[in-house]
Structure 1
Amino acid sequence: MDMDIAVEPAEARVNVGEAESLKLVCRSIRQESRNAKTYVFGTEGDVRVLFRAGQFLNITFGVNGQEAVRSYSISSSASHGARLAITVKRIPNGTVSNWLFDNLRVGDRVRAEGPLGAFTDEEIEGPLVFLSAGSGVTPVAAMMRTYVDLCDDRDVVFLHFSRSPEDTIFAADFSAWARALPRARIIVVATNPSFGSGWVGPTGRISQGLVSALIPDIAGRTVFACGPEGFMQTAREIAERMGVPADRFFQESFVTFVTKVAEDAHEGPSEKAYEVRFAKSGSTTTCSETKSILKAAQAINVKIQTSCGKGICGTCRVKLTSGTVTMTHGGGIKQREIDQGYILACCSKPTSDLVVDR
């Protein structure tokens, strides 16, 4: 069932185009499956946050006296910005997920940065495919809930892989979404259903044979995939073999948020180095042609939000006001953003002196 949303203030809004700091208060908690919970947060003062379905937050938790930062997709509808929900799966030996399950209570406060990420269907026209596995369903849930709220009956095939019916996050919502969106086709595949569970749906792991049988027209659709790294890699390979162009395949990928990383080894004698000036912070450094702008920033404590480190999530987007770079990204930035002078710091390397609006 979709969450109950409190009435939102009519005027109190914050438009978070760039990542901003948010102070969040836990408003409610509910069990989604035997090993997943949804935590619903509001901002202090219930200020509405504008975000796009599919984006995520970097949230800071105080765990056993230490700060721990994790990336969580927003699982609530983008039309309900006064409430931001995240859905967390308990991971064996997972420091933060276990702490959340055992300790976070309604009324507790956390800090967050966001919203972040480019895993959205903004400006995407035509039929869609959502491929998700496990807790990778969370950004897809935000999109589906937004479609329902906006009465946007999209032509979408949603194929979700779950270990068993008991482990399926948002299982109760799937049928409600299907009723509200007649053109949507929602299919759950059990990868390891328990004996005697009564499961009569499709079974098995993601494969070309399974995808071909369930989505024979995938070549004509835009594909969004979210789940474990191995799942997304297989999904990408299958989509490519079945004729989906690379520019119509999007995947979500984020890891534990990192504020500093080890510096690169000393630059080799043949490597060119360029001056990089971060305009807002007033800091300047040198960066070799083989080092990313992100690592150059981290080396001098200039803060740039980052998550996947692969040019996929779009979190580290910054404005280049002067100079040129080489950028090899994984779909985390749109061509119109590049045309406007934006780059992804994690996968951009200098080819001249630079000025970065940071």
Structure 2
Amino acid sequence: TDQSWPGEIFLIYACATMKDIIYREELEYLRQRHPKLRVTITLSKEESPDWTGSRGFVTKELILSAVPDIAARRVHLCGPPPMMDAVRSLLAEIGLPAEQVKTELFLSPAPRRRVEAAEPATAVSVPEQAAQAPVCTFARSGKSAPLPPDKTVLEASEDVGVNIDNSCREGYCGVCKTKLLAGQVTMAVEDALDENDKAQNIILACQAKSTGDVTVEA
């Protein structure tokens, strides 16, 4: 809205009590300044009569009351996993196509396992028991690593000191996006990828696994 975007923005914000409403004054300021910003706040545990807004959890009825045409809109869903799972189910019941829902997970960044890079080399020693595992080649770094079926591209990169930025490690934030140059991967979660990403062979390193050799851009 501060960049003069002409469209409407609907914010449905769920908290426990009034004291849990982050940026409450700022939201009210923005709401008054931008008539196309509609804010709905619902509180699940507020007992004070001073609260005159919605109460309870996010429900299908609340969503449709706040955004009657939500099935035709794009939704950005952000919060802890149980809440997002529940709201995703509600949106599916309403008829919102899954590709119109983008998510951002509330997680503290996982500690990155630091790996000291070996002496400059184009490959690493492969343990005998992993000799038959597929190989992940990191094109830009000039390194490669075993990629057993239960290991992700991100984990393989950490094994050989190849840096791929990451945060949630759950497939939601999109920080670990990288390009697949060769081979095929499967991803249990790919919420952070849009259709344009997929068309360009962008993958989530934290989710990508393979049963064959792959090459990525990292």
Shorter-normalised TM-score: what interval? 0.7 to 0.9
Label 1:228 to 1:325 Cα distance change in 2 as closer, same or farther (>3 A).
closer
Match runs of 1:87-166 below 5 Å: 147=1, 149-166=2-19
| Equivalence for 2:177 | 317
Find the counterpart in structure 1 of residue 117 from structure 2. Answer: none
* One-letter identity of the residue aligned with 1:297: S
Tell me what 2:43 maps to: 190
Aligned-partner residue type, residue 315 of structure 1: V
The aligned residue for residue 249 of structure 1 is: 101
The 8 Å contact of residues 154 and 181 in structure 1, kept in 2 or not, is answered as no
Return the letter of the residue paired with 2:177.
R
1:255-284, Cα deviation, whole Å (9 max, x unpaired): 4233129xxxxxxx9xx6212222333322
Task: Say which of 8, 25, 29 aligns to 1:172.
Answer: 25
Shift of 1:351: 4.2
Alignment check: 8 A CA contact 1:306 1:316 kept: yes
Q: Which amino acid aligns with 1:231?
A: M
Higher relative contact order at CA 8 Å, sep ≥6: structure 1 or structure 2? Answer: 2
1:344 aligns with 2:194: no
**Structure 2 gap ranges (5+):** 115-128
Q: Would the alpha carbon gap of residues 156 and 355 (structure 1) be closer, same or farther in structure 2, given more than 3 Å must change?
A: same
Task: Report the CA distance between 1:248 and its aligned residue.
Answer: 0.6
Aligned residues: 203
Q: TM-score, normalised by structure 1?
A: 0.52
Distance 1:241 1:320, change over 3 A: same
Asked whether the equivalents of residues 161 and 205 of structure 1 are also in contact (C-alpha less than 8 Å), the reply is yes
SS at the partner of 1:325? Answer: coil
Q: Quote the residue 1:115 is aligned against.
A: none
**Structure 1 residue 349 displacement after superposition:** 1.6
After TM superposition, the score normalised by the length of structure 2 is 0.82
Match of 1:290 among 150, 165, 177: 150
Structure with greater strand share of residues: 1
- Whether 1:326 and 2:178 are equivalent positions in the alignment is no
**CA distance in structure 2 between the partners assigned to 1:274 and 1:231 by the alignment:** 37
Structure 1: where are the runs of 5+ without partners? Answer: 1-146, 262-268
**Identity across the alignment (%):** 27
Give the number of the structure whose alpha-carbon radius of gyration is greater: 2
Instruction: Identify the residue that residue 203 of structure 1 maps to in structure 2.
Output: 55
| Aligned-partner SS, 1:150 | coil
Task: Please give the per-residue CA displacement for 1:154-176, whole angstroms capped at 9, x wherever unaligned.
Answer: 22221111222233111112222
